[in-house]
Structures are given as C-alpha cells and as structure tokens.
Structure 1
Amino acid sequence: MTISDLTPSVPTTFGGPDIPPMWFVVPEGFHPLPIAATPEERAAGAADFVRELFPNGDDDLWTPAALFYAGLAELMTEGGLAFSAMGLFGIDDGGIAHCSFTVSAVESDHPSVEVAALGLREIMTRDPLNDARWLDLPCGPAVSAVSMREITIGGEMTATGEDASLLTGQIQVYVPFPTGPFTAVFTLDTAAVDYWGEISDMTVAILRTVSFTPPEEQAAEGA
C-alpha cells in the first residue's frame, strides 16, 4: 500500500464560529469533500472535487457526480461534520484501497483534558466490541476505540446475486480541546482490512500532527 509522507505545505484548519481552531495534516491520497456553509460554496467545491477525483473524466461524469457530492456534503454539514475526505491508495496488485476519514467536534464541559480522556476511556471500555486505549499525543491526552464489524451486502448489490459478508474496521479517536469545552472526534472507516497495519500507522501519524497552536506559532517555537 502506497502512502505518501505527511508533508503538505498547509495543515488543514478545523473550527467554526463557536469552536476554537485546531490543525492537523493528512497525506496525499486524501480527497476532502466540499463541506461548506452555503450551497454556492458546496457546489463550487464539489465541481473541483470531482475533477480531482476523476481526472480522466468529462462533463458527462463530472456534472452528475458534482451534484451527488454537493448533496452528500450538505448532509454531512447538517450532521455536524467539519471535515470529511476519501482516501484512495495504490496497492500491490494495481488496485485501490479505500477509506473514509471524518472529523467533528462535540460539546464536552470538561474541567481538564485529563478528566475528559479518563471519562471517555471509561465509556469506551463498556462496549465489548471496542479495543479502547489511552493515547499520549503531542497535543495532549486522547482515547482511541478500535472495532471490527462484519456487515452483510444484499444480493441485489453483488455480482453473484447472493448475499455476501464484508469485514470492516473503524478507528475512532477522541481528542479533548485544551482551548474550549469541546472534544474532537476523528473517525476512519475502511473495508481494506488486509492493509489494516498500514492504515493504523497512517492514522497515528495524522493524530500526531494535531495541534491547538497556530502553525506560525509552532514554526516560531521550533526556530
């Protein structure tokens, strides 16, 4: 599985009118969906998105695809997501491994990030399907919950016409904000479980870039 280094020039900025800003970096291969506040912004972003996702396409493909992804972005915006991306990575047989990556923020009136993380770990361990763990990230404490689930795909959607089982994996990480009463929720879902090790390493690498300090201040501190 081919995954590029986390070296884009500009980190992704996450935040909103009531949510303090947060920054993180994703590798090349992730294609952010056009989540935006207005229909006009979503339409423009969707047009750019489909041309990036299908560079060899044409208007017959791009036009309906842009409408679909603009509608999907609207649903995600209404659901509270502030960042969503599709990850497409080359694998050894020439195929593509796919994953989805989202980031949202939920209110959490915590007195400290440590207290928030302890409470989250307690909640996560109650689900026997979760592998819940404490994480010490550069930005502070976090809690991860990893799960594997088998889903059934109806025969009307398979090539054989028969029901099929598909194993999927999810990595969900909760990062309490030190700058406000919110917790960031990073979620990565994939059916490419044959590459679970690489996907897990990539997720950890993304999480280690999470910061609540503006990039310019980080650069000044590192100078």
Structure 2
Amino acid sequence: MTAPTLPSRLEFIPTQAASPDVSSVQADDIHVRWVMPEIFHDIPLHEEDEDEAVRLIEALAQKALPGAEVEDWLKLAVVVALGMDDLLASGAEYASVCVSAVGEDPCSATVYAALTDSPEGEDRDPIAAIASSLRRADAGEVTEIQLPCGPAVSCVGTRDDEVTGELTEDPRGLTVPTSFIRVYVPLPNDTTLVMEMSTPTPAGWDPFATMFGNIVSSIRLFEADGEPLIIPDRDADA
C-alpha cells in the first residue's frame, strides 16, 4: 500500500477567514473554526444520502492513498465506513482521517470535534470541573493549558479499541491499543468543544501529536455577527 509520507515541517498558520482548509462547528451563537492540514481528509459523517456517502468515502480513500491499488482503496473505505458509528456515538460533529507513513511504517490517525454541555463545579469554573472529573476517572495525563482562543484542558492516554471481525482474519475481532490526545475548550455559552486525535500506530504518535498541537492552537472563536471572541485567561484578573 502506498501512503504519502508525513511532512518534515509541521506548521499551520491560524486564520480567521473561511477557506478550503478551515473546518468549523457551530455552538449555538458561537462559531468555532480551526485549520486542518491537507494530509487529513474529511469523513462525511452527516451525509444522509447513502449513495452519496459511499461516493464520498470512496473519493476520500483515493485522495488518502494516491497511486494505491483499488483493493487498498476499498479496504480503507470499509475501515472509514465501519468507524463512522463510533464517531457519531461520541457526538462527533466533524471528523477526518489521515493515512501516511513514517519511514517504512504505515500509520493512521483520526481527528474529531464534538460539542457537549459544560460541567458546573461549585465555583462555576468549567476548567477545574473538567480536569477534576478526568482525574477521578483516571482517563490519562490531565493538564490545564492555555490556547490562543482561551483556557483548555488536555488529556493524553491510551485506550483499547475494538476492531470488528470484518477487518481481521479472526471473526471475533481484535482489541487494539490506541493512543489519544483530547482537548476540552469550555465556551461562554455553557458548551464545551471537545477535540481528539487518536492513532493505533505507535510510529505515528510524535508527528501526529505535533500536528494536533498545531490544530488546536489554530482554534478561533467568533460571535454570531462574525466578531472574534477570545476567552480571557482565568488568571488575568488575579
């Protein structure tokens, strides 16, 4: 299988203007935008027409694996199609996939974005509430961070993902360790943006983690009228 090689320089310039490289979700009266690298390809999560969804997934596979055999395109298309239910179950509003190589090692990653209700702590500090909840759940390494768009929480860990028997020689399927970085960005309207990058391929962890750092650093928030919105640092008034 031929896959594009990850670029050696991973820099993405944040933008406030809509462009083919800018992805977005709408959280009621707040518009969230971020920049995706070209090596990622959008998954048609919310395409209601089944035939059109199949066409879009096939086109995705061909873009992700240029020059590959038809059999490889079909395998990737099946993997993407089978993974859509899990993404939707996670509440994903947006998702994209990358298939690449680090040296001779094939690797892949998925990025998704979801919106969820913000938790309420006793002091109404969603950052502290999110961090506390993740630590209690032992979800991974939890860190409170500051992004250009405002304060956030990151969680880095590993989970076991189930791979259906349709993709393996074992009809019972397999359990695959999957590494992930998840970032939570509480918004002023009691909604939290959740973005996650996950990869089952250890060789791709470092470059994909770097990519994801650039992606979340490019997040920009806008009011309904298009006015840029920056959430103040929690310590700004301290």
Give your verdict on TM over 0.5: yes
Deviation sequence 1:122-155 (CA, Å, 0-9, x none): 1111133511000100111111111124679899
Gaps of 5+ in 1: 219-223
- Taking only aligned residues, the RMSD between alpha carbons, in angstroms, comes to 4.0
Determine helix, strand or coil for the equivalent of 2:30. Answer: coil
Q: Quick one: distance in 2 between partners of 1:154 and 1:62?
A: 18
Give the conservation status (yes or no) of the 8 Å contact 1:167–1:193.
no
Which has more helix, going by share of residues? 1
Higher relative contact order (CA 8 A, sep 6+): 2
Give the conservation status (yes or no) of the 8 Å contact 1:134–1:142.
yes
Number of equivalent positions:
210
Q: Is 2:219 the counterpart of 1:197?
A: no
Deviation for aligned residue 1:213: 2.6
Q: Quick one: distance in 1 between partners of 2:68 and 2:92?
A: 28
Query: 1:2 is matched with which residue?
Result: 6
TM-score, structure 1 as length reference: 0.72
Taking structure 1 as reference, are residues 165 and 79 closer, same or farther at Cα in structure 2, changes over 3 Å only?
closer
Q: Is 2:127 the counterpart of 1:117?
A: yes
Taking structure 1 as reference, are residues 136 and 68 closer, same or farther at Cα in structure 2, changes over 3 Å only?
closer
Give the conservation status (yes or no) of the 8 Å contact 1:5–1:28.
no
Q: Quick one: distance in 2 between partners of 1:65 and 1:182?
A: 34
Gaps of 5+ in 2: 14-18, 229-238
Q: Quick one: distance in 2 between partners of 1:166 and 1:109?
A: 31
Within the candidate set 7, 25, 40, 1:30 is matched to: 40
Name the stretch that deviates more: 133-142 or 163-172. Answer: 163-172
Counterpart code for 1:197: D
Query: 1:48 is matched with which residue?
Result: 59
Query: 1:13 is matched with which residue?
Result: 24
Q: Quick one: distance in 2 between partners of 1:184 and 1:128?
A: 21
TM-score, structure 2 as length reference: 0.69
Deviation for aligned residue 1:194: 3.5
Within the candidate set 140, 144, 151, 1:141 is matched to: 151
Taking structure 1 as reference, are residues 165 and 110 closer, same or farther at Cα in structure 2, changes over 3 Å only?
closer
Q: Quick one: distance in 2 between partners of 1:170 and 1:49?
A: 23
Q: Quick one: distance in 2 between partners of 1:157 and 1:58?
A: 19
Q: Is 2:142 the counterpart of 1:132?
A: yes
Q: Quick one: distance in 2 between partners of 1:43 and 1:51?
A: 13
Query: 1:88 is matched with which residue?
Result: 99
Deviation for aligned residue 1:185: 1.0
